[in-house]
Amino acid sequence: MLIVHELPRRIRLRAASSFDARLHDDFVRHLPEHIGGIRSVRANPSARSLIVTYNGSPDTRAALLNHIAETPPDLRPRYAEPSETQRHLRQTLVSTAVFAGSFVLPPSVRMALAIGVVGPTIVHGIDALFRRGLCVEALDSAALSIALLRGEPATAAATMALVHLGEYLEATTDRSSTDLLRHMLAKPPGKAWVEDADGALTEIPADEIDIDDIVVVGPGDMIPVDGQVVSGTATVNDAMITGESVPADREAGHRVLAGGVLEDGRLRVRAVRVGSATTTARIAEFIEAALETKPDIQSSAERLADQRILFTVGLAALTFLFTGDLNRLASVFLVDYSCALKLGAPVAIKSALYHGAKGGALIKGGRGIEGLAKVDTVVFDKTGTLTHGSLDVTDVIPIDGSDSQEKLLALLASLEEHANHPVADAIVQEAQRKQLTHVHHDEVDFIVAHGLISEVDGARVVVGSRHFLEEHEQVPYAAFEEDARRLEAQGKILLYAAVDGAPAGIVGLRDHARPDAKATLARLREAGVGSMVLLTGDRAPKAHALAGDLGLDRVFADCKPEEKAAIVQSLQEEGRTVAFVGDGVNDAPALVAADVGIAMPRGADLARASADVVLLRDEIAGVADSRELADNTIRLIRSNFRLAVVLNTLLFVGAVTGYASPVTAAVTHNSVTIGTLVRALIGPRPSKRPNSE
């Protein structure tokens, strides 16, 4: 292929032949999967043209041209096979040509061509009948056979063209909905620049980057890891990960995500998560899983569609019995409910998943959408959800007096930088603000629902809740009850630390109510959620004050982490359909126990893995967005179902009474099906957010 035109982020190449495999569907579709940084690929075989847009990186351009050069034009086997859509299009064009020729060719030639075009479909329909019983393919086969038996090759060819056109449009629409989701996946770069201990840069495969490596990212490059900026400033576009279209400035101390693209500037990033652990990889895994799940509403639609085939056969039999008209019989066979009913639900769901992801919410397939639409109770774990995701460190109290505040804070920040939680973020940011030195430590062990443990200079350091340290580690804090009560009375969150089994210190942190929390709760009520519940480890007075301010219905205060799932289950035993919103490691059991688990974006990995919905933006409004999107999706599916049933029923009436010929029946039926699918593909969309109060 030769380059015929090029812009900074766009390149157009021309092949020697329109039959070049690199111009055809599978190569085009798989190209972004092979080359990280590819934004879109479009091919025009008739013009021998391949147009690729990418992130502007020279490495991406080089990888693209190299991959194209290494792919033979006469092909890898998988590229040689025409796609389903191409096959249907080709068959449509051939059938149309035969129909057109029916007006000028001799009768014997017309019939021979019609048999050649229609024959494979009739054989396929007979085979489907014996393998699967009554199905759409068998009905189409019967209608085409009737046209041939009546000596009407033009009718058979026209009907065949319309059937294939309908199949082509259906396949195109269904694949478009899948491609919408797959295009959300930001492919990681193939290589990255890593800085060694001497400051020298070495280019290595991105999948060989280790935790704590320093990665250098320049303009146009995609960030290959989740990490923390060590130095430099840059403008980063995270649209492929969070759906946020406005680039953000990043500098030392900020976190960056794999898949973000530097629009300008330069960053040195310490790798915190690499490979399959990065946000981009987890999003890809989430979307792939979403494409595999089949919701109940889709299964129900398929069952109803199969049942309607029996209705079609019965109606056809009665029509022929009372009229003896083969033309009416063929018309009835060409009308069915199956296509619109079976394809409408999955297309609408894939479209909803796409719009949700673009709006900042990953929903785990159709079951997640169905579950969201049924929710009547939402339980909020307070910290990081209704309250703001960021905390402020207000108090650092070394207990034994031998360590200064700075030493204690530096120690805790060095351990907590490996966690992904608002408490950890606050401590790390406070240490950075004070420019404290990193404390070397051994590997950190995370204890689910409790805290973390590591060793520093041979001393065992334990950090977590008071319950964890006193009940599990037998570290006594009774002597420091006065400090703890004073901080708790001020509504602060407390983090406890111990070294070698002795108390080392207490850190107090303060959170803030999110500015959009009240508006979000109001939107949820408008969407049909009747009960809003606050679940928190805070003391009752503070919890009830927040609940009163936001208008929550019930409060569970003084909750221990292990009690969260039990509270969710108790609400379910009351007959409620419960959604749980949380972000911590200790929220995972409750997220699993709930009918729908919703994880905030800054939540722990385990919480995100356990959730049915993962918000990509740190905004509680995403909960209401997801509920409204689910409601709109289910309404659209049901509306399409009713539309397909009503219009096809009217068409049945036309077929039975003789007003709809086989060609008219095929045209009208396919129009109804395509209209339903296009409607499903276009919508639904999230509702527009109101301004936060």
**Which residues are part of the catalytic machinery?**
381
**Structural contact between residues 534 and 553, judged by C-beta atoms closer than 8 angstroms:** no
Closest of 280, 399, 293 to residue 349, by C-alpha: 293
Nearest alpha-carbon partner for 441 in 410, 415, 409, 404:
415
Q: Which of 526, 484, 523, 486 is nearest to 623 (CA)?
A: 523
Q: Which residues of 20-38 are buried (b: 16+ CB within 10 A; e: fewer)?
A: bbbbbbbbbbebbeebbbb
- Residue 283: which residues within 8 A CB-CB, separation 6 or more? 184, 185, 186, 241, 259, 362, 616
Structure tokens at 395: 């108090």
Kindly write down the DSSP assignment for every residue of 548-562, as one continuous string. HHHT-SEEE-S--GG
Closest CA to 221 of 358, 65, 54, 53: 54
- CA 27/CA 41 separation, integer angstroms: 10
Rounded Cα distance between 560 and 301, Å, is 43
Q: Which of 532, 536, 472 is nearest to 498 (CA)?
A: 472
- The string of DSSP letters for 310-323 reads HHHHHHHHHHHHHH
Tell whether omega for the bond before 684 is within 30 degrees of 0, i.e. cis: yes
- Here the tokens at position 124 are 């396929």
Q: Give dist(CA 154, CA 322) in Å, integer.
A: 27
275-284 b/e (C-beta count within 10 Å ≥ 16 → b):
beebbbbbbb
Task: Report the alpha-carbon distance of residue 579 to residue 590 in Å, rounded.
Answer: 9
State the Cα–Cα distance between residues 611 and 78, nearest whole angstrom: 36
- Phi, psi dihedral angles at 336 (to 5 degrees): -155, 160
